[in-house]
Amino acid sequence: MSLLLNILLFSVFSCIILADEPIPKIISQAVGLKGGAKPQGVILKTEAELSKFLDLPIPETNTKIKKLLNVKEINFTHQMILVIQGGECNSGGFKVVFEKCETKGNSLQVLWKLQTPAADAFVTQAITYPSLVLLIENFKGEITFKQIIDIKK
């Protein structure tokens, strides 16, 4: 009987310890902020980090980001900003698309795609840097970004 009880208790505590963190809620998202030459994700957890990223004073940064995300307030105690940069593209019409967030233990993986323009689309003939901004609930663990690449046949 005690062996069965030990196995049962071990199973219960193992599930509690190995349970994944909840996926943070996406509060708002918007296209464009500041694209980069390389595809990457940027994590901004404070007003100071956002100000440095945009190279603007904090009051201007707050006004710009709230207008872009169409929110009244951003509370960096409970929220953070993720910027997904699609990298340098050879024309307009490219778009960063958020797919989903996945958690594994204390890690959050942000999955995204770079959507290409349609073959017959009229696009700007200039170098562009598409990006996407996400306002999400704070996540205390490690955050990684993974680009999903569609292979068309």
Q: Tell me the pLDDT band of 138, cut-offs 50, 70 and 90.
A: very high
Measure the CA dihedral 55/91/94/131, to 10°.
-10
Q: What is the pLDDT of residues 30-78, one digit of tens each?
A: 998 788 889 999 999 999 999 999 999 999 999 999 999 999 999 999 9
Structure token digits, residue 66:
């709230």
Task: Name the token pair of 144.
Answer: 């990684």
Place of tokens 């999400």: 136
Model pTM above 0.85: no
pLDDT score of 3 more than 70: no
- Residue 38's contacts (CB-CB under 8 Å, 6 or more residues apart) are 85, 87, 88
Kindly state the tokens that stand for 1: 């009987």
Confidence class of residue 22 from pLDDT cuts 50, 70 and 90?
A: confident
